[in-house]
């Protein structure tokens, strides 16, 4: 395995994890369950931590693929920018989730204490939806690096038929 393999193994976690966390948070609001809200916030917190290795393996992966035929530097740059933005937005979502978890009481039966975790859960949900969208975009731009079939105008080197 090389550095590109590591990046490819890790880069799905922020996308799918953010989606799972958003679905858990949404479910917690629908069912009015603080336990499910806490599970959603915990998921987002864990995903925000797991986003870091996905991001930091990108530079080494770039070195593996940047000189391969058909790889465009513009595609790598777009992926890098989306990944960096995703890292920061996911960090914000993780921070909101942490605040929500720290302010959630174990005695949460329909009391006034439900309002604080609910407020942080709303913030976590909104930022996590944005993080999911950005991470999904980072995935699309990452796919463009080596999947020439996703381009409207594929690089000439990829279209060339070997003789």
Tell me if 161 is assigned to some domain.
Answer: no
Mean pLDDT for the chain overall? 85
List C-alpha distances in Å: 106 to 34, 56, 102, 154: 9, 36, 10, 56
Average pLDDT over residues 94-99: 96
Give me the CATH number covering residue 36: 1.20.120
Q: How far apart are CA 29 and CA 32, in angstroms?
A: 5
Tell me if 49 is assigned to some domain.
Answer: yes
Q: How far apart are CA 128 and CA 133, in angstroms?
A: 8
What's the half-sphere exposure (Cβ side, CA atoms, 13 Å) at 11?
28
The answer on pLDDT for 157 being more than 90 is no
Average pLDDT over residues 137-147: 85
Q: What is the pTM of this model?
A: 0.81
Tell me if 131 is assigned to some domain.
Answer: yes
102, two tokens: 């720290």
Determine the 3-state secondary structure of 150 from DSSP. Answer: helix
Tell me if 18 is assigned to some domain.
Answer: yes
Nearest to 17 by CA among 117, 102, 139, 100: 139
Domain count, the chain: 1
Tell me: the pLDDT tens digits for 10-46?
889 999 999 999 999 999 999 988 899 999 999 999 9
Nearest to 125 by CA among 48, 17, 44, 47: 44
Average pLDDT over residues 127-133: 97
* Alpha-helical runs (H) found in the chain: 3-10, 12-31, 34-56, 58-65, 73-102, 115-146, 156-159
Tell me: the pLDDT tens digits for 36-68?
999 999 999 999 999 999 999 888 888 888 888
Residue predicted with more confidence, 154 or 119: 119
Tell me if 69 is assigned to some domain.
Answer: yes
59, two tokens: 């530079």
Tell me if 33 is assigned to some domain.
Answer: yes
**Domain range spanning residue 138?**
3-148
Tell me if 128 is assigned to some domain.
Answer: yes
Residue predicted with more confidence, 108 or 54: 54
Q: How far apart are CA 100 and CA 118, in angstroms?
A: 8
The answer on pLDDT for 146 being more than 80 is no
Tell me if 132 is assigned to some domain.
Answer: yes
């Amino acid at each position: 395995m090389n550095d590109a393999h590591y990046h490819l193994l890790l880069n799905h976690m922020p996308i799918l994890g953010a989606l799972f966390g958003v679905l858990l948070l949404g479910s917690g609001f629908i069912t009015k369950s603080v336990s499910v809200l806490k599970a959603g916030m915990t998921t987002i917190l864990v995903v925000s931590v797991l986003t870091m290795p996905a991001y930091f393996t990108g530079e080494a992966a770039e070195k593996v693929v940047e000189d391969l035929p058909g790889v465009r530097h513009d595609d790598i740059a777009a992926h890098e920018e989306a990944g960096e933005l995703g890292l920061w937005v996911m960090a914000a979502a993780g921070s909101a989730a942490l605040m929500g978890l720290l302010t959630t009481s174990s005695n949460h039966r329909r009391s006034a204490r439900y309002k604080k975790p609910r407020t942080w859960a709303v913030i976590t949900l909104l930022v996590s939806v944005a993080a999911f969208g950005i991470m999904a975009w980072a995935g699309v731009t990452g796919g463009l690096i080596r999947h020439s079939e996703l381009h409207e105008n594929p690089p000439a080197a990829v279209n060339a038929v070997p003789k």
